[in-house]
Structure 1
Amino acid sequence: MGSIKRGVFGLFVGLFLLVSIGFVNAEIIVNGPEQTAVNIGDDITISGYVLRTDDALGLLKFELVCGSEKDVLMVRSVSLKSGVKKDFSEEFAIVSLNEGNCNVDVSLDNFESVLEIKSSSNFVVTTALTGTVGINKENIQAGEEIKISGKSFKQDGTPVEGFAIITLKKEGGIYFSDSVEVEEGKVVFEINTRDVPGGEYLVTVEIRNGFGNSVLINAGSFVLINKIEVNAHTAKVHYLPKEKVKMEGTASVLGGKLKKGTVYVSIGEEKYEEDLRNGNFDLDFYLLNTITSGKQDINVRIEDEFGNFGTYTFSIIVDAIPSKITIAGAKEAINPGESMEIKAFLKDQAGEVIEDSITIKVENEDIFFDSVQNSGEQFTITLDADVEPGNYFIRGYYGNVEGEKIFVVGQVLKLEYSLDGQTLVVKNVGNIPYEGPLQIELESLAKTSSISDKLNLGVGQEERIDLGVGMITGTYDVVVNENSFEAVEIMGVKRMSYSWLIYVAVVWVIIMLWMIWKGSKKRLRKRIMKTMHSRNIVPKGKQGEYGGASMSRVISEEDHVKKYKAYMERVRGFKERARVNPVKKSGLFSRIFSKKQKVSSESLVVNNVFRGVKKEWTRDDGVRSYSESPQYQNRISNLDRTNETESEKKKKKDDDEPTGNMFSMFD
């Protein structure tokens, strides 16, 4: 036991001696770094010395130790002399990505083993930078600029050289992001809020350098106001379609009146635009002639070039104007006696129904229906059974507003049959005249007969046919078209013939034609006589004329007599008919009177140049020349004038009196 204790003690002594010898042979003193925290990319300085008691040649190694991670910073060879200090001072850039508490280990080895190792003071390696950033406004009108400014430093207090990323966030979303260089640690940036939506924004600034060190700074928040306060009104509230609307309004922003902008106005589908000047605007526009009546919203929107906008809505009332009447439900074609359901609508300028009363008429040339109905209310029109076919109009009236719809009444050909005793009554109950044959069958046990007739009935007319004419008394079944009448008691009536009336009518027509011919012949004779007188074929009693020959052409008494004879022969061929009374004097009824009056006949008026000549004078006697006796000449002239006057009176009387009558053909 004692020997074991002595062996252990000897071992401890040996180890102590070896360690003591090692401490004595090498000594490393490490100083630095001065920073307690550094950023990646920063430089640190490690200094110190190595002292040995013997000469040695080895390696001096510098390692960055961060936790369990080690990164070699530098290795250098050294030649040490016994008892001579070997100083060192090295600057290292921290490029390791390891962060946390770190130190630098300095070790000396002789290529075989580590002779000595010492650690520097601890320091923190981090990527975090420091700094402060702020904004200059808390409330900003859209279009204005907001200024962001601040400073940033590294862990060792030196200004950051790098860049900054500025971000505007609203409700968690990014609305704006931009970057700016950071020089000497200064951050300066201005944000133009043009076209940026209004609202509250959070400003963040992230500052970075080239080694990945960064810092995220909350610069603050601001409220971006992009609203324009708008006010507008019209000159009045009630308007009519097509009327002019005068509107005016104002616009203001955070800083006062909005200097410049654009005004957009809409009413229904119509849109108008106007410029805003110094916060005021005026706009005139006309309402459509088809605008909907009632409440109409006018929407006003004002925008500026910076994205500010404002809206305002107010209302006007458009009064309804009755503009048209529409007829609905009417059939295009209808038969007499039928009905149709109709609605009439009074509509305004926009086609909207107005609740009011309308006068409804059904017209052709006459008015068949006249009533007052409510707009949109259904009513019934029933046509009479005998209404005439053709085009009819349903017309609605409201003041000077009218509307119509046409429908056609069809033709109905219909006969109605009934019995009145033994008389068959056929009535036209259609709406057009009926013309056609009628066949009636009469059936009995002993005999079957038929009656044929031709009907010509106007609308509503009837014809009565006695079924007993030409029939034997008895009981018959009467069948006419598709109608039948059973067990009709018929009493026979003898058929009368009226054919003799036809002969009488024929004779009468012949007589009338003969009378017309007779009268025309007499009128022709009268025209001939007038023509002869007008052409001097018959003398008119002028002085010294015979048959139209003037006395100056008579050269002797012998010539005078010769011409007179020829004249008298011509006169005999032109005798006038005797003037008679139209009824009594001639014709058929002249035979009835007891005595026939003697009718004198007059010759046509001639120049009686022999009046006053001695009766014993003959045509064979000598005739004196006209020039032999002036008294004779004067006498002849007086006679001529007298005869001429009488002839004129007679002619006038003949023209006034009738020359015959309708019975003169029986003379």
Structure 2
Amino acid sequence: MNMKREALIALILMSLFLINFVSADIFLVSQPKEVYNYGDYLEVILGSDGSDGKTTIDLVCGQGSMNIYSQYLHLETEIPITFPFSSNFLKGLTGECYLSMDFEGNIKKSSTFLITNKMNVDVKFNREDFFTNENISFTGTASKANKQPVNGAAKINVNKIDLESIVPVEDGKFSGYILFPEDTKSGEYNMEVYVYETKDDQTTNFDNKTFSLTVLQMPTSLEISSLDGVDPGSEMTYSAMLYDQAHDSMEGFPVAINIYDVNSQIIKSILPKTGESSKLIIPKNAPYGQWNMTAESEKIAVNKVFYVRENKEAEFEITNRTLIIRNVGNVPYDKIIQITIGNTTKIQHLNLSTAGSLLLELSAPDGIYDVEVNDGDVKANAKVSLTGNAVDVRSPYDNSALGFMSKGFFAWVFVFIVLGVFIFIFVMKVYKKKSVLFFDGSLPKKKEEGKGGVVKLSSPTGPGTPYNKHQIEYVSSEALPSLVLDGEKQDSSVITLKVRNYEQLKSNRSNAASAIEEAVKEISENRGKIYRKDDSIVGIFAPVITKKFDNEVSAVKVAKKISELLNEHNKRYAHKIDFGIGVNNCHIIASKDRGKLLFTPVNNSISGVRTIADLAKNDFLLGEAIHKKLGAKVKTAPHSHKGLKTYAVLDIVERKTDDAFIRGFLDRNKEYKDNRPRFQK
């Protein structure tokens, strides 16, 4: 009986124990949040039914697990648990995680949550391409994965040039600017933006973004490349190069280049590209000294001085029995030349001014001779047929005193004869005229009916007129600069046609050359004489040739016609003629020899007309001297170029003076109109 009672008591106690064990439980009153960043706190409440027992909680993530709570519970029903998710605590655990709870072998899991050290960063720049002298401003926002704003710092780094800037991040916002060094090379650069948070000197959360920016080329300097010194008659190569902030070349940009001579006269203006080479032919007679070259591109202007050296050079031309020596250099030609005729050598001491020339006559006993001229640098030779008594070289204007006297004597005799004949004819005409003092009262006879009023004029050349078959008039269109000793000082009208692209047209072999020749014919067709030099053609209207003293209107009309012909060519053809025409009056010492005009300019007056031609742009301009003489015969518009007055012709006033004179005469003498007698009784 006692044994049954003890067994029953034991069974009851065991049942009570089992009931208590089964009912013991733990749980989470509040589940973890969905996302945690490093630096956050895990805050949960562990619930229990008050049972006693050992409880452990483990943090389980993909990379591993760690125990975060271990405690023996005794009658507790709610236990708050807080854990810091710091770097030191987590030791690198990130990703999808959960809490594993163990109460006396009874295991439960929490909901999953994310632990991360990442954040979301967005950065905006004010521009993606920029110059090095411009600030690059930026603004950005940063938020953690748990949607909380970042409080930390942002580091902007350009590794390629070791550029770094750090700005604070407050409440998830940051801003600032960076400035690249001025000599940074152009190109693309990667800019890294690193945003981070720290706690206890440990980086908790961070994000790294990379952006691409472009540094542009900024022109900083312009350099002219050319020789420092050039020889006249040579070709100079030059170019201009633009450089950026890193002194890297910038090719293909337009650059305006102007070249000035020693007198600040513009010689050439072109618009090539940077890096392109251009060429300039320095004429043999280019003025020596310091020339200037300017270049401008991208608002940067520079200049370079180069030196044109002296050139003492002459050109020898042997034509028939004449040796013409021209100074083609840029300084006076004061050299000794050797002239060899056959086996005989003559020495001449020369001193020719710039652009001067000298004409020498060669003579020798009749025969054909090898003639050579040599100044040590330039040599010319030709086979020439000569006549004379002895080998000689002299100027055709060199005469002995007797010759001069005899020539002067006969000249004066001729002048007096012409003057006497003129006076005799004038007196006879006056004598034969009817005078009012001898009027006899008779009336002029009326014209007979049916008869016209035609007066028959006879030619002065009749059967009785003597004719000299040996009288020959030499005709030539050439004007030759020379030292004229026995000429007259005359005020002459001069036209200078300057073709600026003469060398280019010559090398292209275009039809422009024939167009120029056709236009220049206007000079000779209007009784002018032509002198050619390099890229200029000079037309001279001297009284000794034209037989009249007022040649101004003729010169202006010829210049206008030449301008019209050349501009008409430019409208029709691809090869344009870049020209300018100057017209002015000049004083020259002139004489006529075998149809040619020999002349010596006075005070470089003809070179002044060339200066006017340089100023004209595919048109013609008048100088001040001819403008004064023309007066109201032309309508003009004044211009001024660095103190030099010129005039553009607007219109040429055509006045028919003969018609006006006749009409005035008839108006004053009405008796000729109505056939009434001049005097009545």
> Is the pair's TM-score, using the shorter chain for normalization, greater than 0.5?
no
Larger radius of gyration: 1
Q: Which of the pair is proportionally richer in helix? A: 2
TM-score by length of 1: 0.39
